[in-house]
């Protein structure tokens, strides 16, 4: 990757207004087409997930676009969600979902 930001927290509301949190980072592709990839990581399944809820996804993506990617054409942005699952204290390989 040409650029990779550190993981940063984002606080967002679920459909009922309950506060939720997750991590995200932004990476740029190394070759054409030049893209900014927004990598979402949900570590706590008690929070509403942008993978499962379109309204949560809109909240999270709009905030990131406004704060970090202002002025970038939407066609140059890709959203990737990663859900980390833990079963019996053993880490299961993350599921990568292209949204």
Tokens 């970038």 locate to: 72
- In tens, the pLDDT along 27-73 reads 998 888 888 989 888 888 889 888 788 898 888 999 999 999 999 88
Range of the domain at 75: 3-98
Q: How many domains does the chain have?
A: 1
Specify the DSSP element, H or E, that contains 57. Answer: helix 54-68
CA gap 10, 53 in Å, rounded? 16
pLDDT given at position 7:
92
Contact 25, 8 (CB under 8 A): yes
Beta bridge pairs of residue 79: 38
**Mean pLDDT of the 76-81 span:** 84
The two beta strands, 77-83 and 36-42, are parallel
Both structure tokens of 84:
């980390």
């Amino acid at each position: 990757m040409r650029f990779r930001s550190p993981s940063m927290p984002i606080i967002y509301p679920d459909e009922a207004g309950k506060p939720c949190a997750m991590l995200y980072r932004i990476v740029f592709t190394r070759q054409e087409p030049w893209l900014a990839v927004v990598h979402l990581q949900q570590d706590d399944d008690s929070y509403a997930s942008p993978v499962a809820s379109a309204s949560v996804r809109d909240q999270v993506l709009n905030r990131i676009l406004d704060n970090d990617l202002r002025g970038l054409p939407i066609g140059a942005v890709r959203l990737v969600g990663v859900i980390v699952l833990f079963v019996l204290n053993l880490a299961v390989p993350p599921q990568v979902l292209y949204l």
